[in-house]
Amino acid sequence: MAAGRYDRWIPWTFVGGMALVIVVNAVMVWFALSTFTGTTVDRAYERGRLYNTVLAEAERQARFGWRFSLRWEPKPGEPLEGRFVLDAAGPDGAGLDRLALEAAMVRPLEAPEPVPLGFTQIGPGRYAATVVLPRPGQWEVRLAAQRGEDGPVEHRQRIVAR
């Protein structure tokens, strides 16, 4: 009879183990569904089918030799308020002036409405756009630059606001 008392915990070990597996799986499903939408490119099939066109467009833009560098400068004490500063240089390294810039920022893996950015020239080859970010995290700034008949040249860069 004494041996029977010690054997009662064995079924509960299996029940506890299964409960642990269910809890861990539930947490992993929650993280998977709340952090990733499952798509990174809209119309992926069409983009893949027309990939030669994508390569030709990238080559056309590369011939301009324009280089862009974008940085986020938050306001002191306000991590979600600040400005984006864009440095644009030509193939010779000189700043690109009088660019017409169309820009917006988006969340890379979500589908909210893009937030438009209005860049103004603040120096030779330097442009700035003041913005209040809706929330912290990773953002992608997408811009298209054109100067007269030259362009458009597209640039995408991700930043992280904390």
Same domain? 72 vs 31: no
125: Cα within 13 Å, side-chain hemisphere: 15
pLDDT of residue 3: 58
Residue 149 sits in which domain range? 44-161
Which residues partner with 84 through β-bridges? Answer: 72, 129
**31 and 51 belong to one structural domain:** no
pLDDT value of residue 45 = 83
So what's the pLDDT on residue 68? 94
Shared domain check, 120 and 141? yes
Give the number of domains in the chain.
2
Q: Are residues 102 and 75 in the same domain?
A: yes
Q: Are residues 88 and 129 in the same domain?
A: yes
Query: Terminal CA-to-CA distance of the chain, rounded, Å?
Result: 63
Mark whether 53 and 123 lie in a shared domain.
yes
C-alpha 128/C-alpha 85 separation (Å) is: 4
CA distance 51 to 58: 11
- On the question of pLDDT at 30 being above 80, the answer is yes
State whether 141 and 61 are in the same domain.
yes
10 Å Cβ neighbour count for 121?
17
Q: Are 71 and 141 in a shared domain?
A: yes
Listed range (63-72, 104-113, 153-162) with the worst mean pLDDT: 104-113
Q: What is the mean pLDDT of the chain?
A: 87
- Identify whether residues 10 and 68 lie together within a single domain: no
Residues 140 and 72 in one domain: yes
Give the CATH number, domain containing residue 97. Answer: 2.60.40.3340
pLDDT score for 6: 73
What is the reported pTM?
Answer: 0.68
Torsions phi, psi of 155, nearest 5? -145, 135
